[in-house]
Amino acid sequence: MPGTDEKYQALLKDLNELGSYLHGRGEKTQALSAQFAENAKKDASNREFDLNQSRMLDYQHHLWHEIGNLVDKLVKQYE
């Protein structure tokens, strides 16, 4: 059975992976937001929808990174 130190190190490793995942989601969401914004410029028939999607995804992008930054802060605090 793993000792306390091994469990602690495994938890820090998992938190690091979670932080990377969250930041990766933020980047993917930002890229999708940019695609909708670009499409809004090209296609007037769906402009309002595309702009709304872009704004929503941009907001999500910031949330993913904010949560990721909190996880990163925890990892640094306990490393």
d(CA 34, CA 57): 9
State how far the Cα of 44 lies from the Cα of 41, in Å rounded to an integer. Answer: 7
Q: What is the mean pLDDT of the chain?
A: 96
What is d(CA 61, CA 34) in angstroms, rounded to the nearest whole number? 11
- For residue 14, the enclosing domain spans 4-78
* Entry pTM: 0.88
Q: What is the pLDDT of residue 10?
A: 95
Our count of domains for the chain comes to: 1
Res. 1: pLDDT tops 90: no
What phi and psi values does residue 42 have, to the nearest 5 degrees? -90, -35
Do the beta carbons of residue 64 and residue 23 sit within 8 Å?
yes
